[in-house]
Amino acid sequence: MCGRFVSASPPDELARYFGAELDDRELEPSFNVAPTNEVYAVKAREGTRHLVTLRWGLVPFWAKDLKIGSRMINARAETVADKPAFRKAYQRYRCLIPADGFYEWAKEPGRKTKKPYFIHRSDGEPIVFAGLWERWRPRLEDGKTIDEEADPIESCTILTTTPNATMAEIHDRMPVLLAPAVWDDWLSEDTDLDYIGSLLVPAPDDLLTLVPVSTAVNNVRNKGEELIRPLPERDGDAAPAADD
């Protein structure tokens, strides 16, 4: 899965990187983005890319309240086309979610606490997650009728797939990462879904670098740059075990 990531690049830089118009407000840089936080995303409207902000944790249009979003931060590539929570968004509402890197935790033999790693692109370029988004409106007191007067909330999820060789050292899943050559196809509603499905594969083995970091990242209240500072490997450290 992908449960925390880093979003510290200024929005104007992201807009230039994606060739997108900047639509929404500026978010505070965060080195520990957590579920339900607002995040940057790229959507397409009438052939133009727009950098917007979305709530992380997809809330399906049919949901009774926002709570379901905290359980919808990731969508599995193997089932996303069929799951009721994601099916419509997969067909029509795809987005790109930029990050400076993300975190994953690995089990260590003989230790109860998992070891966190900061994972970033080896070439220093931004990571681009394959994402889905949805628009949701609150319901009236009867719990059934949608409040058409209420402002909609737009939310998103990150797709995951099986790991490449690098990620397999620490976990059995990884986020789907998209290269610039396929961004337009991913964003377009008109792209054949069989082709979209072919993009949900592990990234090349040499694309990512794993950096051991402090367990301070475990606390979502910690948001500073010190979280991605590399920790020295301890004497006797072996390759991390794969997570179950």
pLDDT in tens, 60-112: 999 988 999 999 999 999 999 999 999 999 999 999 999 999 999 998 888 88
Instruction: Give the Cα separation of 223 and 7 in Å (integer).
Output: 10
Give a yes or no: residue 208 inside a domain. yes
Give a yes or no: residue 238 inside a domain. no
Number of structural domains (the chain) is: 1
Instruction: Give the Cα separation of 179 and 200 in Å (integer).
Output: 12
Give a yes or no: residue 198 inside a domain. yes
DSSP-derived pairing of the beta strands 94-99 and 127-136: antiparallel
The residues, ordered by sequence, that sit 6+ positions from 94 with a Cβ below 8 Å of its Cβ are 130, 131, 132, 133, 186, 187, 196
Residues labelled as active-site residues:
2, 104
Ramachandran angles phi, psi of 68, nearest 5°: -60, -25
Give a yes or no: residue 152 inside a domain. yes
Give a yes or no: residue 242 inside a domain. no
Give a yes or no: residue 241 inside a domain. no
The answer to which of 77-81, 121-125, 144-148 has the lowest mean pLDDT is 144-148
Give a yes or no: residue 234 inside a domain. no
Give a yes or no: residue 169 inside a domain. yes
User: 51 lies in which domain range?
Assistant: 5-228
The enclosing domain of 32 has a CATH number of 3.90.1680.10
